[in-house]
């Protein structure tokens, strides 16, 4: 492949490690960068509507003009140059660095997996549920509220669960898992907006999408509602995707213009699938390692396939809601 792949993520992202290793095995030039890991260097020159010249850190750099695709995972924001002693000035410098680095990168007309602005739009749980419904997918009955009395009224006759909007919670090292909730014990004042859903009985399914390719596994080995904390002792068995679900998922990917998505479903005994959520930057390595599915290869193939005419968020789009495009063809 002519050109290079830019990988934007932090040092702890082992999912990105798999993709970088695959690309390097193919002889593809790869640059991995995390702006928050140290002083960032940028020398971006605008030439004929395209940014060119170098971006990098203390150890590596890449010519922006040679970038044909970007894998955007979990990059951290710049922290400001360590030589700046004044805290306020360093914070200002960090914001300037972020506006420059992220602004230049986001405007590159290349293949993105995924463009961060599109991933941010797709990451909204309330928005996901509405879009999934519009795409013909089944979603659980849901309430978002700050009122415990509203939860009790809504939950009457149901088995319900509580789910956080952001799983990291107050402590990035402590995952907030989905748990069954007893409406009778919910306080009147919840203290923060909360999301409650009806519990759907069945088997969890993880569906990883790369473009139009689907990699689905049924997850067994736990009775917990949230399987993530115990994934090391679970079984991930490849499975087919019902045709009507596949149509809906591809429509969902198209509306948000995603190249990658980690979807969670519940499959009932009659193979009816209920959409739970999507993580547009979710991990997949544990699925591939335990199931043997070739997800890394599919992502690397996509990164090595330059787009003919990339469209950036907010450019040449017609949207039904902010961030959700309904006019562009699927890749």
Summarised one tens digit per residue, pLDDT across range 245-303 is 999 999 999 999 999 999 999 999 888 999 999 999 999 999 999 999 999 999 999 99
Rounded to an integer, what distance in angstroms lies between the CA atom of residue 70 and that of residue 6?
5
Q: Say yes or no: 128 and 233 in one domain.
A: yes
Mean pLDDT for the chain?
Answer: 89
Cα separation values, 172 from 31, 97, 321, Å: 27, 24, 30
Q: Say yes or no: 212 and 130 in one domain.
A: yes
Q: Say yes or no: 278 and 166 in one domain.
A: no
Output the pLDDT for position 324: 47
pLDDT by residue (tens digit) across 204-221? 999 999 999 999 999 998
Please report whether residue 262 resides in a domain.
yes
- If pLDDT is split at 50, 70 and 90, which confidence band does 325 have? very low
Total tally of structural domains belonging to the chain: 3
Rounded to an integer, what distance in angstroms lies between the CA atom of residue 206 and that of residue 108?
31
Output the pLDDT for position 169: 57
The position carrying tokens 């695959």 is 22
Q: Say yes or no: 30 and 169 in one domain.
A: no
Cβ proximity of 274 and 140 under 8 Å: yes
Output the pLDDT for position 330: 32
Residue-range definition of the domain harbouring residue 185: 142-198
Q: Say yes or no: 91 and 158 in one domain.
A: no
Output the pLDDT for position 323: 47
Please report whether residue 113 resides in a domain.
no
Output the pLDDT for position 329: 31
Choice among 16-25, 82-91, 210-219, 314-323 with the minimum mean pLDDT: 314-323
């Amino acid at each position: 492949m002519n050109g290079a792949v830019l990988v934007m993520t932090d040092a702890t992202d082992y999912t990105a490690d798999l993709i970088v290793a695959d690309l390097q095995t193919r002889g593809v030039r790869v640059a991995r960068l995390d702006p928050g890991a140290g002083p960032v260097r940028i020398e971006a020159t605008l030439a004929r509507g395209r940014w060119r010249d170098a971006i990098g850190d203390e150890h590596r750099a890449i010519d922006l003009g040679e970038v044909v695709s970007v894998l955007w995972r979990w990059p951290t924001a710049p922290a400001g140059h360590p030589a700046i002693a004044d805290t306020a000035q360093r914070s200002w410098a960090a914001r300037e660095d972020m506006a420059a680095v992220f602004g230049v990168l986001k405007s590159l007309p290349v293949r993105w997996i995924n463009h961060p602005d599109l991933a941010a739009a797709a990451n909204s749980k309330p928005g996901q549920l509405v879009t999934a419904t519009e795409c013909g997918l089944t979603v659980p009955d849901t309430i978002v509220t700050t009122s415990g009395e509203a939860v009790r009224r809504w939950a009457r006759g149901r088995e319900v669960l509580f789910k956080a909007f952001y799983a990291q919670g107050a402590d990035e090292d402590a995952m907030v898992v989905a748990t069954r909730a007893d409406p009778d014990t919910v306080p009147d004042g919840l203290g923060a907006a909360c999301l409650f859903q009806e519990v759907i009985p069945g088997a969890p399914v993880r569906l990883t999408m790369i473009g139009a390719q689907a990699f689905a596994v049924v997850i067994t080995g736990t009775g917990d509602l949230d399987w993530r904390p115990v994934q090391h002792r679970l079984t991930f068995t490849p499975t087919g995707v019902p045709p009507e679900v596949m149509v809906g998922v591809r429509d969902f990917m198209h509306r948000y213009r995603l190249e990658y998505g980690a979807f969670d479903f519940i499959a009932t005994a009659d193979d009816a699938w209920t959409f739970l959520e999507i993580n547009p930057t979710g991990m997949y390595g544990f699925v591939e390692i335990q199931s043997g599915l070739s997800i890394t290869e599919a992502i690397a193939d996509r990164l090595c396939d330059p787009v003919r005419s990339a469209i950036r968020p907010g450019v040449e789009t017609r949207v039904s809601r902010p961030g959700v495009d309904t006019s562009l063809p699927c890749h």
